[in-house]
Amino acid sequence: MSRTASRDPALQELLDKQAIHEILLRYCRGVDRRDEEILRSVYHADAIHEHGEHAMNAREFARVIIDSIGRFAATSHFLTNALIELRGDLAHAESYVLACHRTERSGEKSDLTLALRYVDRLERREGVWGIVHRVALHDWSRENPLESEWPDARSMLQGLRSRDDRSYRR
C-alpha cells in the first residue's frame, strides 16, 4: 500500500497542499538568494516556464533567471495569496507575488515593485510534487526613485544573494 493511500483523504489533502505551498516558497527563496539548485528543485525535469519573452524548459529557465536577477542590487519576492486546487496527482495553483527589486543606474537608486501572479500546474510523480508548467503574469508595476534609506541599515546583518546568506546555516 502506498504511503498516501493509507491516510485519511482530508489529512492527505492538507499534506499535499502544504507540500505544494513549500514549493512556491522555495521558488521565491531560490530567486532572492540566486540559488539555481533550489530553483531547479521545484520543477519536474520536463517542466515549462513562461516568463515574459521566455518560454523554455524550467530547469534551463532557472539559469536564465539567476543571471537576469543579478543586475539588481537586491530582490525580495513575497508570496501572498495562494489558491491550490487538487485533483488526485494533479494540482493547479494561482499565487499572488509582490516582487521588490533595488535598482541602480548611473549612480541613482530606485525601487521597482512588481505585482505578479504565478499560474502553475503541478503533478505528483513517484510521490513527489513538482511544477510541470508555470506562467508568470504581470498585473502592475511601479518604479520609485530612492529618496533616502534607513540610517541604521548598515548596523544590521546584511542579507546575501548566495548560499553564504545566514539562512543557510542550520
Instruction: State the CATH number of the domain containing residue 37.
Output: 3.10.450.50
**Average pLDDT, stretch 144-152?**
89
In a domain? residue 163: no
* CA atoms within a 13 Å half-sphere pointing along the CA-CB vector of 45: 1
Residue 59, in any domain of the structure:
yes
Mean per-residue pLDDT, 13-25: 97
Q: Tell whether the model's pLDDT for residue 149 goes beyond 90.
A: no
Q: Considering the domain boundaries, does residue 159 fall inside one?
A: no
* Domain count across the chain: 1
Q: Domain range spanning residue 78?
A: 9-153
The answer to the question of residue 139 being in a domain is: yes
Rounded CA separation 6/12 (Å): 9
The pLDDT assigned to 6 comes to: 60
Over residues 21-66, the pLDDT tens digits come to 999 999 999 999 999 999 999 999 999 999 988 799 998 999 999 9
pLDDT of residue 1: 39
The answer to whether residue 100 sits within a structural domain is yes
